[in-house]
Amino acid sequence: MARFLKKNKESLHRTPGSVIFVGSQKMKQARVSVMDYDQGSLRELDLKKIADGERFKNADSVTWINVDGVHDTDLITEIGRTFDLHPLILEDIVHTGQRPRVEEYDDCLFLVVKMLRFDKDQEQVIGEQLSMVLGPGFLLTFQEQAGDTFEPVRERIRRQKGRVRGAGIDYLAYALLDTVVDNYIFIIERLGEKVEDLEEEVLFAPSQAVLEKITRYKREMNYIRKSVRPFRELILQLNSLDSDLISDKTVPFLRDMQGLALQSVEIIDTYREMLFDHLNVYNTGVSIKLNEIMKVLTIFSAIFIPLTFIAGIYGTNFEYLPELHYRYSYFVFWAVLLLVALVMIRFFKKRDWL
């Protein structure tokens, strides 16, 4: 399936709000996990029945319900009924080709972002859609597959580190988004090191392999940019929302994240410019090398043209050819050829053509 665009033939000619999975299934069976906590207590459990999660809907504690595997449309539909989610939210959750954005509904906020990870073996950035529903007292997150991206946040909750155990549900959403943007910067810097290491290869050993690296890194940077630029817009929009679901205490943290998102975009643009420069240097190096080859071939041609002319005249079959029967004619002939060649080589060097 295309990385930049998800095919959506399955959703053609369907009514808006239809829960139709678009994407590639990345895990066999969906899993629903719950973290319910306040300053003094913590409960972690897996939900076997979605209806059991209804008791967390209006609880005084902070409830984080995470769903791994959005291919199970029946499960997503049941969650929508339990938490009274708008049909358009359910449609966007199971369509994994959504653009990162935030939407405000009557009783919740819906966010879509892209989580990224770097595959070492293929040297490729892998993307995954993360959908978040922020409601009063609960946070629903939907991932395409199970992963460890949010494990640091879970550990902070378990060990009561930082502000997360004493803050509200909006701070939990911020903590998850902050993990996502930190991962952006980590991947960009990791790929950026490879881009910087290309400089010496481009200058001193331009080859087809170097050109392939430049092309591959350009593709990966464009893929990251496709996720990061809308994320910055999402944070800007989130900061401008006048919603009761976001407390004044969380706003400064969101503003700080806005700076991180802007930094990510600037780093990507810097490395993309470097790749364009690498490509220009590569093309220039190849052109210079080709010009050197053509110069040598041209010089050889220029030297041999008059020699060929002389040899052609000397080799003609005239009956009365001067010096034809002269004993040293052959040596004189070679002396003339060498003299002409040396004079031309000296002329080329004087003109700095050699």
DSSP secondary structure code for residue 99 in this structure: P
Name the amino acid, one letter, at 59.
A
pLDDT of 241 > 70? The answer is yes
Name the amino acid, one letter, at 309.
F
What is residue 319's predicted lDDT score, i.e. its pLDDT? 63
DSSP secondary structure code for residue 22 in this structure: B
Closest-CA residue to 73 (of 149, 154, 18, 8):
18
**Residue 261 near residue 182, CB atoms below 8 Å:** no
CATH number belonging to domain 287-350:
1.20.58.340
Q: What is the mean pLDDT of residues 191-218?
A: 89
pLDDT of 323 > 80? The answer is no
What is residue 334's predicted lDDT score, i.e. its pLDDT? 83
pLDDT of 120 > 60? The answer is yes
Could you give the CA distance from residue 74 to residue 122 in angstroms, rounded to a whole number? Answer: 34
Domain residue ranges in the chain: 14-285, 287-350
Q: Thinking of the domain 14-285, which architecture would CATH place it in?
A: 2-Layer Sandwich (3.30)
Across the chain, mean pLDDT equals 87
DSSP letter for each residue of 127-188 = EEEEEEEEETTEEEEEESS--STTHHHHHHHHHT-SSTTTS-HHHHHHHHHHHHHHHHHHHH
Q: Which two tokens stand for residue 24?
A: 């590639």
What is residue 317's predicted lDDT score, i.e. its pLDDT? 61
Judged by DSSP in three states, 246 sits in coil
Give this prediction's pTM.
0.81
Give the strands of the sheet with 124-135, arranged side by side. 42-46, 31-37, 62-68, 138-143, 124-135, 109-119, 101-104
Matching residue, tokens 């364009």: 276
Judged by DSSP in three states, 224 sits in helix
Matching residue, tokens 């002396």: 335
Q: How confident is the model at residue 343 (pLDDT cuts 50, 70, 90)?
A: confident
More confident residue, 112 or 49: 112
**Residue 227 near residue 126, CB atoms below 8 Å:** no
CB atoms within 10 A of CB 41: 9
